[in-house]
């Protein structure tokens, strides 16, 4: 199923090395990415893994075939924060109904936001609340195998029953125990043991179970959903760096111990942290920004930002490195993207993604190298090379970028006036009336119209224009 001799190399958090990616089954490459907890609109930190691992999804589809990749990204719709939001926003409704209203609204907004960011829909987007039976079965299996126990109304995972617990994060279990608050967790065999199932009172959502009415712990959700849709062992598990411990570490413990398998996922990928204008993003600092706000309001930098610009801004830093999300970064991303799109606008037919770009991307999603290759193609396309323009357009589409800039609101009369002035300016150049040419450029720039001059292969001046903010 693989395309040509393409070899994808990925940095595996589990082994701490960059490895050749070899799927268990090339006819069904399987990837799981931790999705959002939908108690509120997605923030820009949520956007980074959605974008980064969408690019990986696209690369896998290119190499192995669109129908040979299964991508699962979950929705967590049971959580204490969701409960609080439901009580706040819908105090007159029964709790379960209020929770559904909150999560339906926020989940649908998340789907709209990721689509605006150029992300493909995953193959499956399961909800935690639709997989309660699978979670209960997994907990029962852990209990029967001696890895879980009931205490004080909870079912807990016994980390001491897993000799190599902590391999993903590199944490020493004895260090965790030394700093634990024994008095608070007196019902635990080990202070590091974590909750699989907890009791629910009358004001909390709950499901009947062998351990009484209750609800699942956070970690068990992804173990159950990944098994249901990808199997007990699959290829790639990905998410943010903050999920390595405890979430992913505990997923591994649950899944391996329940199934008796030596591994859960064979490759673990994690994107780096995000800050805003040099500071950690938080509501208390007033720099907490949602994707919806960036797309629809002028909260950040005094502008609305197109989804494709946000996408490029996220990709400009290697996915494993920390990223500083700034207005300057967005401006640079927009200038870069519009330059590529202007060059691609000359495409007269269809092309294929550039091999050097795909090669760069195959090296642990090295978008910086890919962007350098895109610049080379764009320069060729700007000189009037049709095949380069077609290749550039196809490569942009591969990355999830539109090949042409989104059309700004410009009336036909305005467009006609701009084109007339551009023609007049070209005529002024031919007549060596450079003063008039400069006057026209300045007048258009004052109206928010920027001109871009280049030369075609015949050496003739070519001028394109675009609306600037």
> What is the average per-residue pLDDT within 131-157?
97
Residues 362 and 423 in one domain: no
> Are residue 349 and residue 419 in the same domain, yes or no?
no
**What would the pLDDT profile of 372-415 be if each residue is shown by its tens digit?**
999 999 999 988 777 999 999 999 999 999 987 754 444 555 67
Looking at the structure, tell me whether residues 241 and 288 fall in a common domain.
Answer: no
- Is residue 244 a part of any domain in this protein? yes
DSSP per position, 239-267: EEGGGIIIIIHHHHHHHHHHHT-S-SEEE
22 and 62 fall within a common domain: yes
What mean pLDDT do residues 65-92 have?
Answer: 92
- Same-domain status, 256 and 279: no
Q: Residue 418: its pLDDT value, please?
A: 84
Domains contained in the chain, number: 3
For residue 82, being part of any structural domain is answered with: yes
CA distance 368 to 54: 17
Banded model confidence at residue 449, pLDDT cuts 50, 70, 90: confident
- Residue 280 and residue 267 share a domain: no
CA dist 96 and 107 (Å) reads 16
- Among residues 290, 271, 302, which one has the least CA distance to residue 365? 271
User: Tokens 């405890």 — which residue?
Assistant: 246
Q: Which of 139-153, 233-247, 337-351, 444-458 shows the lowest mean pLDDT across its residues?
A: 444-458
- Count of other CB atoms within 10 angstroms of residue 355: 13
Q: Which of 240, 271, 302 is the last residue of a domain?
A: 271
Q: Give the span between the Cα atoms of 226 and 126, in whole angstroms.
A: 9
**Local structure of residue 100 (DSSP, 8 states):** H
> pTM of the entire structure?
0.86
Task: Look up the CATH number of the domain holding residue 223.
Answer: 3.40.50.620
Query: Are residues 189 and 317 located together in one domain of the fold?
Result: no
| Cis, peptide link before residue 246, omega less than 30° from 0 | yes
- pLDDT digits 0-9 by tens, 181-221: 333 478 999 999 999 999 998 878 889 999 999 999 999 99
Domain co-membership, 285 together with 263: no
CB 238 within 8 A of CB 13: no
What are the backbone angles phi and psi of residue 237, rounded to the nearest 5°? -125, 130
Q: What span, in angstroms and rounded, lies between the C-alpha atoms of 446 and 324?
A: 31
Contact of 226 with 124, CB cutoff 8 Å: no
Whether 299 and 196 share a structural domain: no
> How does pLDDT run across 125-139, given as a tens digit for each residue?
999 999 999 999 999
Rg (CA), the chain: 26
Same domain assignment for residues 124 and 135: yes
Rounded distance between C-alpha atoms, residue 260 and residue 9, angstroms: 28
For residues 221 and 101, membership in a common domain is answered with: yes
Count the neighbouring beta carbons within 10 Å of the beta carbon of residue 296: 13
Q: Which residues of 212-221 are buried (b: 16+ CB within 10 A; e: fewer)?
A: eebbbbbbbb
**Does residue 234 fall inside a structural domain?**
yes
Q: Which among 342, 364, 398 is the end of a domain? A: 398
Which residues are CB-neighbours of 142 under 8 A, at least 6 positions away? 148, 157, 196, 254, 257, 258
Q: Does residue 227 lie in a domain region?
A: yes
* pLDDT for position 303: 85
Q: pLDDT value at position 1? A: 45
How many residues are listed for the chain in this entry? 469
Parallel/antiparallel/unpaired status of strands 461-467 and 265-271: unpaired
Q: Which domain holds residue 50?
A: 9-271
Specify whether the CB–CB gap between 157 and 256 falls below 8 A: no
Last residue of a domain, one of 367, 398, 429: 398
| Burial class of 363 by CB neighbour count within 10 A (0 to 12, 13 to 18, 19+) | middle
Domain membership flag for residue 440: yes
Residue 406 lies in a domain: no
pLDDT (mean) for 271-280: 96
Task: Answer whether 94's CB lies under 8 Å from 86's CB.
Answer: no
Q: Determine how β-strand 154-157 pairs with β-strand 194-199.
A: antiparallel
């Amino acid at each position: 199923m693989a395309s040509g001799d393409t070899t994808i190399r990925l940095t595996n958090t589990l082994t701490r090395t960059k490895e050749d990616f070899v799927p268990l089954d090339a006819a069904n490459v399987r990837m799981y990415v931790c999705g959002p907890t939908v108690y509120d609109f997605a923030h820009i930190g949520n956007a980074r893994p959605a974008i980064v691992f969408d690019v990986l999804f696209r690369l896998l589809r290119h190499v192995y075939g669109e129908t040979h990749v299964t991508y699962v990204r979950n929705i967590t719709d049971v959580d204490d924060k969701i409960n609080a939001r439901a009580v706040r926003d819908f105090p007159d409704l029964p709790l379960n109904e209020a929770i559904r209203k909150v999560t339906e609204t926020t989940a649908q907004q998340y789907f709209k936001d990721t689509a605006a960011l150029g992300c493909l829909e995953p193959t499956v987007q399961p909800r935690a609340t639709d997989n309660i039976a699978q979670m209960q079965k997994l907990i029962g299996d852990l209990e029967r195998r001696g890895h879980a126990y009931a205490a004080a109304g909870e079912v807990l995972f016994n980390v001491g029953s897993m000799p190599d617990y902590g391999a993903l994060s590199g944490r020493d279990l004895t260090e965790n125990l030394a700093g634990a608050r024994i008095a608070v967790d007196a019902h635990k065999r080990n202070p590091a043991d974590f909750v699989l199932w907890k009791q629910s009172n009358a004001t909390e959502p709950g499901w009947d179970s062998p351990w009484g009415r209750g609800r699942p712990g956070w970690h068990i959700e992804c173990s159950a959903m990944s098994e249901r849709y990808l199997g007990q062992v699959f290829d790639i598990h990905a998410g943010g760096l903050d999920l390595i411990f405890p979430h992913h570490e505990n997923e591994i413990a649950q899944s391996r111990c329940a199934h008796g398998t030596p591994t859960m996922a064979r490759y673990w990928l994690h994107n780096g942290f995000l800050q805003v204008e040099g500071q950690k993003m938080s509501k208390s600092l007033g720099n907490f920004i949602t994707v919806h706000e960036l797309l629809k309001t002028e909260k950040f930098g005094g502008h609305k930002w197109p989804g494709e610009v946000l996408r490029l801004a996220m990709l400009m830093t290697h996915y494993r490195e920390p990223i500083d999300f700034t207005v300057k970064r967005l401006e640079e991303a927009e200038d870069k993207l519009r330059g590529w799109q202007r060059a691609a606008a000359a495409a007269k037919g269809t092309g294929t993604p550039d091999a050097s770009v795909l090669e760069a991307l195959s090296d642990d999603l090295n978008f910086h190298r890919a962007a350098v290759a895109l610049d080379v193609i764009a320069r060729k396309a700007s000189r009037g090379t049709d095949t380069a323009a077609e290749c550039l357009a196809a490569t942009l589409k591969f990355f999830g970028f539109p090949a042409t800039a989104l059309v700004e609101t410009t009336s036909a009369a305005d467009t006609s006036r701009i084109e007339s002035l551009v023609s007049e300016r070209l005529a002024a150049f031919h007549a060596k009336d450079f003063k008039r040419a400069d006057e026209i450029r300045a007048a258009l720039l004052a109206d928010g119209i920027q001109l871009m001059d280049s030369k075609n292969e015949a050496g003739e001046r070519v001028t394109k224009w675009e609306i600037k903010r």
